[in-house]
Amino acid sequence: MKPLRVAVFASGRGSNLKALLEAIERGELFAEIVLVLSNKADAGAFNIARDYGVPTLHLSQENFSSPQEFDRAMLSALHEHNVEVIALAGYLKKISSTIIREYKNRMLNIHPALLPSFGGKGLYGIKVHQAVLDYGCKVSGVTVHLVDEEYDTGPPILQRCVPVEQDDTPESLAARVLEVEHKIYAEALQLFAERRIEVRGRKVIIKDAPENPN
Ligand code: GRF
């Protein structure tokens, strides 16, 4: 079996990217991050990618004359690196239907709450945790899900709960949630690496691990 070829799309600091690279180093994730793509030239994720010798690509819609041309550039980079799976990790731009269709059931996103609550357009970053606290929730969590053509609506692959503490601030809750994000994203990708994911309608079925993986 060959390592799963993953592209990570990130707009920000890239802590999930780092967690994936560390999981690969520890031998917990049988994958290779073959490309880190960002719409932001100064994304922290690029520094992490460079530290690990991962190719980077800055792609901004502003530098293209049409959305179609932008999509073509994105697709050709994905093909050039033989990307099998795309992992969105804090990528704040909507991905076009062309790319989503091409990577149907092979594009993942991580969201710092239990979807379908506290998701959708505009609910990202600290706003998610603020909304969870404003509602008075006792638990929050993490969702890794497949990407469809809307924001945060694709079927969940893995979800995990995180308790909300009485004295939480959005920042303290975010930090507790992030620790779980850093574990669960590698776990979800490992299921893809082991070819254990089957999608039936909205249900993501996790197949049993083979008795003898060789
Ligand atoms: C994470 O909280 C992730 O759940 C959300 O965006 C944030 C990205 O953080 N989609 P980082 O750039 O990976 O540190």
pLDDT at position 199: 97
Residue nearest to atom 10 of ligand 1 (CA): 90
- List 58, 79, 81, 111, catalytic entry: 111
213 pLDDT above the threshold of 90: no
CA separation for the pair 169, 22 (Å, rounded): 28
> Percent of the chain scored above 90 by pLDDT?
96
pLDDT at position 214: 59
Predicted TM-score (pTM) of the model is 0.96
Ligand 1 atom nearest residue 109's Cα: 10
Residues 6+ apart with CB under 8 A from 38: 9, 10, 11, 45, 46, 56, 57, 58, 59, 91
Nearest to 83 by CA among 30, 147, 10, 5: 5
Cα of 89 vs centre of ligand 1, distance in Å, is 5
Give the pLDDT band of residue 202 (cuts 50, 70, 90). very high
Taking the chain, what is the end-to-end CA distance rounded to the nearest angstrom? 8
Rounded to an integer, the average pLDDT of 56-72 is 96
146 pLDDT above the threshold of 90: yes
81 carries an active-site annotation: no
Give the pLDDT band of residue 201 (cuts 50, 70, 90). very high
Give the pLDDT band of residue 210 (cuts 50, 70, 90). confident
How many residues can be counted in the chain?
Answer: 214
Ligand 1 atom nearest residue 15's Cα: 14
Q: How many other C-beta atoms lie within 10 A of the C-beta of residue 64?
A: 15
25 pLDDT above the threshold of 80: yes
CA separation for the pair 174, 154 (Å, rounded): 22
Residue of 11, 15, 144, 160 with the most ligand 1 atoms within 8 Å of its CB, for mutation? 15
Strand 85-88 versus strand 107-111 pairing type = parallel
Cα of 210 vs centre of ligand 1, distance in Å, is 32
